[in-house]
Structure formats: structure tokens, C-alpha cells
Amino acid sequence: MKLANTLLAGAAALAVSTPAAMAEKWDMPMAYSATNFHSATGAEFAKCVTTGTGGEIEIVTHPSGSLFKGGEIKRAIQTGQVPIGERLLSGHQNENAVFGVDSIPFLATSFDDAAKLWKAAKPTMEKILDEQNLVLLYSVPWPPQGLYFKKEVNSVAEMKGIKFRSYNVATARLAELTGMLPVTIEAAEISQAFATGVAESMISSGSTGYDRKVWESLSHFYEVDAWLPRNYIMVNKDAWSGVSDGNKNVILGCAELAEYAGAWRAVEYTQFTLNGLKAGGMTVGPANDALVGELRQIGETMTAEWLEAAGADGKAIVDAFKAMK
């Protein structure tokens, strides 16, 4: 964590700028809690930009969905309600299947593979976002996704009828194929949803469960490393066009460091949060071979469906990714 903070703070300190005659405030909505590593990285990025531009652009982060809920953030940026924000990449797979490239089950199951997949997908992603009046700044992965339950589960058959928190197209489809009941719940609402029985299960990282203290309601976390979803930070293209070249360079430099620091945090945070779940009283460990085998079969179905929906762009991304392995 110290390395990540030092990198971002150093970038701000090294930036050369004069005091601002007119400061421009950029509100930056974020869906996750202030203590989440994505939010921490975003806060350091904001400080880096604010200091690096000499206060000409002051970025103020608003975590926990306090300004806009997760599902509202991207639209708010597109329409200019806010100039910048962070969103889960796959949260808008319903707009374009390519947004769900990071949630293809068992395609990229490690940090190294997730980085390669992002490299393959990034040019297409930038093109799609440009057409939506958005500019991509940086992206950070989550730790590998595992399954949370309030009871021991050893087969897909045992999942039938369980109320399952979904957060994108892929998780809703996973629920359908396993016989669970998908319930759409934003990250900020997770703790309450489990405490009240609105949801009984989810697929997410150890980070999400740790941040939300889900051991107060759930008992088991199964490491299945299904995929590594990503968050991304984007800026309104009209707002971006009004930024001076010098300040654009500062923002892009801070973004590059944030992406590096965020990825480093994700790796370091993985085992830390799994240990935290154990300390909270949860049973944490790999799913059994039979369950993993059943989930991989479901993953094959979902992969075929995604490739069909994503068309030529999707095939090109997956082909490019496989060529890197």
C-alpha cells in the first residue's frame, strides 16, 4: 500500500505548475466505499491531478455511491452532469457486449492474464467510449471472483433457489444457469441486502466481502477464480477538450501511475482480504473439483453466448488475447 501511495504522491510533487487563477472543480462519483482499494486509488489520483495542475483542476471524489449510484455514474458523465467518474466496466454489457469482456468465465483467471486481456481489448474499448462522448483514463482489476454463501455448497444442484446478488449481465446469467434467483444490488447496498435476506449469495472478490463485513451474514467463500472484473475511470469528452495540453499531460501521467498502483494494490489486497474473511469467522478455501467442473461447463455456455453477442470485435479481442499466452 505504501508503494502505491508513494508513486501517486511523487507524481504530484514532481509536477511543475503555477498557482491557478481560476480553479475548476471536477466532482468524481465512485460506487464503492472510501476504504475500498479502488476508491483509495481514485482519491490518490485526484490528489495527484489537483496538485499537478496547481489547483487549476481540483478533483473531488464521492465514494459509496453518495453522488450517483453505480448504475447512474456512466450516464451522468456522458451527459455532462459530472465531468469524471469511475464505473464497473461490465456494468454496461447490455449496451455493448464488449463491455463484458472481463467477465467471461474462466477466460482470464489470473492477474497476468487479466492484464493481457485488457491490452487486447483496450483499443476497441477506447473506440466504443469515444462514440459515447467519453475518454478512457485508466482501469484497475478486482481480485479473482469467488462464490459467497450462507451455507456449505458442493454442487450446482445445491444452489437452486438461492437468492443471488447480480451486478451485471454475466452474473445474472450465471444465476439463471445455476438455478439461483438473480437480484440486482449495488455495491453500497450489499451489507443491508444480506442482513435482511434480500440476497443470500454472490460472486465477488474477497475485497468486496471484506469491505462490507459479509461474515456478519454469510459463512462460506469458495475460491473459484472465475474472472477478474475491472473498474475504469472515464471523463466527458467535451470537458476533456476544454483542458489545456499541459493539464492533459498531468492527468494522463497521474492516470498511468494510478493504473499501476491500483493493479499493485489489487494483488496485495487479495490474500489480505481472504485472511480478513477467515478472521471474521468465514470458511474460506477452494471449491471442490466437482463444483469447479460444473461451473466450467456453465462457463463454456456463457463464453459461446458472449462471442455471439460481441461479434467480430469480440472474436478479435479473444484471438489477440490467446495469441499473447
Domain borders along the chain are: 2-94+108-142+230-271, 146-226+280-324
* pLDDT of amino acid 271: 95
Rounded CA-CA distance 128/28 in Å is 21
DSSP letter string, 89-106:
GGGGTTT-GGGGGGGSTT
Rounded CA-CA distance 233/247 in Å is 17
* pLDDT of amino acid 325: 81
* pLDDT of amino acid 179: 98
* pLDDT of amino acid 187: 86
Give mean pLDDT in consecutive 10-residue pieces for the chain, a chain of 325 residues.
53 46 89 94 98 97 96 97 97 96 96 98 98 98 97 97 95 97 93 96 96 96 97 98 98 98 96 97 97 96 97 97 93
End-to-end CA distance of the chain: 29
Which residues partner with 220 through β-bridges? 149, 283
CATH fold of 146-226+280-324: D-Maltodextrin-Binding Protein; domain 2 (3.40.190)
Mark out the alpha helices in the chain (DSSP H runs): 2-14, 37-52, 70-78, 111-131, 169-178, 190-196, 206-211, 237-241, 245-279, 289-324
Check if the beta carbon of residue 234 is closer than 8 Å to that of residue 128.
no
* pLDDT of amino acid 2: 54
* pLDDT of amino acid 119: 98
* pLDDT of amino acid 239: 98
Rounded CA-CA distance 219/215 in Å is 6
Q: Is the pTM of this model over 0.85?
A: yes
CATH architecture, domain 2-94+108-142+230-271: 3-Layer(aba) Sandwich (3.40)
Backbone phi, psi, residue 132, to 5°: -105, 15
CATH fold match for the domains 2-94+108-142+230-271 and 146-226+280-324 = yes
C-alpha cell at 283: 470458511
Backbone phi, psi, residue 29, to 5°: -70, 140
H helices then E strands: how many in the chain?
Answer: 10, 11
